[in-house]
Structure 1
């Protein structure tokens, strides 16, 4: 599956919708989309329901984006991780500091609507 990423605005947050493989070849586009979402302000949700693979560069991009979100005083969450990818996030303990939700609705309702000052 070819990599694709879209930035959408939904309810109270920016949604980065990802499809395909997040790897060394797609990492830059993935990071750019997440940074654009953070620059728009407010919380960010990364929708990974159509992600088929995520290597260490993708994992690192997500961790870096979370650090940047925290530095900006905003929240980040992941949603709809396929089981194999969710397992990697559990093994690496990323799920202990980045919230993961089953649905976009759950993620949006759990995130604050404004950035903190």
Structure 2
């Protein structure tokens, strides 16, 4: 028996997720995110950003497909920035836009963490 399509109310009640894809380019860890970063979706991001076993980590987080970030997501970014900087590396954000960029600006993360408009710019010095 075919499944009935979801109603709009059912779609809005479904939890939104976060997709985290990790690749590497020239020794730089690149995380491509899609979805929402919040208390419920932060664990996979936190795990992908673990730098405890990396000397001089260099990380780029592609945020062009991130649609929402809350305080727990902000805390993950700040903690990662602190850990990476303490290890002699760097963290860069790519393409946060709209409400995500406004949130980063309001709390000052854009002044703390280097934000670049394109992935190409983030991967070069």
Q: Place the TM-score, normalised by the shorter chain, in its bin.
A: 0.7 to 0.9
Q: Mean Cα displacement is larger for which, 38-47 or 10-19?
A: 38-47
Unaligned runs of 5+ in 2: 1-15
The match for 1:58 is 73
Over 3 Å off, 4+ runs: 38-42
Q: Residues 65-113 of structure 1: CA distance to partner in whole angstroms, max 9, x if unpaired?
A: 0000011110101001122111111111111110000001001112xxx
Question: Could you tell me how far apart the structure 2 residues matched to 1:58 and 1:39 are?
Answer: 22
Is it true that 1:75 corresponds to 2:75 in the alignment? Answer: no
* Bigger relative CO (Cα 8 Å, ≥ 6 apart): 1
Please give the residue correspondences for 1:74-113 in structure 2 after superposition, counting only pairs within 5 Å.
74-110=89-125
8 A Cα contact 1:12 1:108, kept in partner: no
Rg comparison, structure with higher value:
2
Give the alignment's TM-score, normalised by structure 1: 0.86
How many corresponding residue pairs?
109
RMSD: 1.5
